[in-house]
Amino acid sequence: MQLDLMEILACPIDHAAMQLAITLQEEDEIIAGALTCESCGEIYPIVDGIPNLLPAELR
């Protein structure tokens, strides 16, 4: 996931802003980490550079 995507990403459940926690980064590419909704607290994993924005029950 490119770091500049944070400007447009929002929680798919309630459209709130999300906080980024980076586990592995190579230059501007986030390889592993998590996105956490600031409103509902839902956590979305980032695996192999791809954020999984599906609801928990569909992951």
- What contacts 39, CB < 8 A, 6 or more positions away? 11, 14, 16, 17
What's the CA gap between 55 and 6, in Å, rounded?
19
Burial of 31 (0-12, 13-18, 19+ CB in 10 A): middle
CA 14, CA 25: separation in Å to the nearest integer?
27
- State the pLDDT at residue 55: 84
* Confidence at 56, pLDDT banded by 50, 70, 90: confident
- What pLDDT shows up at residue 28? 87
- pLDDT, tens digit, 9 for 90 and up, residues 22-38: 999 999 899 999 999 99
Whether the model clears a pTM of 0.95, i.e. scores above it, the answer is no
Neighbours of 37 (CB within 10 A): 19
pLDDT confidence of residue 37: 97
pLDDT at residue 47 in the model: 97
